[in-house]
Amino acid sequence: MRVLVTGGSGFLGLELCRRLAGRGDIAVSLHRRWSPELERLGVRQHLGDIADPRTVRRALAGCEAVIHNAALAGVRGPERPYRTVNVDGTRHVLTTCRALGIRQLVYTSTASVAFTPEGGVTGADESRPGPRRHSAAYPRTKAQAEAAVLAANGPDLATTALRPHLIWGPGDPHFLPALLRATQGGRLLMPGRGTNLVDTCPLATAAHAHLLALDRLRPGHPAAGRAYFIAQGEPRPLREVVTGLLAAAGRRASWHPVPYPVALAAAVLADATTTVLRRHTDHGLSRFLLHQLTRPHWFDLTAARRDLGFEPPTTFDQAMAELTRHHRTTGG
């Protein structure tokens, strides 16, 4: 099958292309900058902006399915850049799929679309409504894009949305690097004590779920028109997750709690500064990140198991051991 992966040069996108090529499918990628990793895999690369309808049409021509993985991620920043990529880009993909007769679309959403700052998420399933107001442009625009994807499902185009949560693993350009930046002199300053339970998603688990959805999705299938939480199914205290990731990278750090009022004041100031400067950032403190760091967030995976046949292909401890071996072998 010829499959377009939008954002194929990114963290999850590259793994998806690697797996598609490895099992004999023809992987095509749409992304911004040339990727030597994709070239080695023999993946055809279309360079351009997903916000450009003509670029999207060129990339999708001749494809039978699409994994729409491209997105602008970040913890704070003005609305417009997020909307252009996450909402407008998704609409261009949907419109082009209909025009070209493409019948399958798997969308990479995020569990953050259902996260509520007030109490977090504890064992909720997909019937849980999202918050009345998201605390950042990223989850807000991803929720809007997910809604558009699910509304587009029909007899001619089957769509589904996967909501992976906190993807990490070898090559992670976001989560672990942010923790390493926050660790200074063996001290990790973090809001709260890290006792809140969180579930995460190793890279292998996220990629596995996407290919399961791709292989099963057809018009009329139970997954068509539905969203699914994807995670490891092993909630751990945040402190354990964070210190484990740092240890895998060879960094030892002691957790130093920052009082919540102090962290909140700093987050409000950071959000205000970013708004004034109209600057997007994918790291640093924000109210969105503060809520994620101090609230529980773990999910009921029953629907994904039932409709997609989903089971994590690895355990949390096995994935952490793989990450440790990767850092020891490559130096990160």
**pLDDT tens digits for range 111-134:** 999 998 888 899 999 998 888 888
What would the mean pLDDT of 19-37 be, rounded to a whole number? 96
The per-residue pLDDT of the chain, averaged, comes to 93
The residues assigned a catalytic role are: 138
| CATH classification number, 71-330, choose in 3.40.50.720, 1.10.150.120, 3.40.50.1860, 3.40.50.1820 | 3.40.50.720
Q: What is the pLDDT of residue 160?
A: 98
Query: Where does the pLDDT of residue 332 fall: very low under 50, low under 70, confident under 90, or very high at 90 and above?
Result: low
Compute the Cα dihedral for 84, 86, 87, 91 and give only its sign.
Answer: positive
How far apart (Å, rounded) are the C-alpha atoms in residues 104 and 98? Answer: 10
Round to whole Å and give the CA distance between 154 and 63: 19
pTM of the model: 0.94
Which of 54-63, 178-187, 264-273, 275-284: highest mean pLDDT? 54-63
Please report the pLDDT score of residue 42 as a whole number: 94
CB 150 within 8 A of CB 224: no
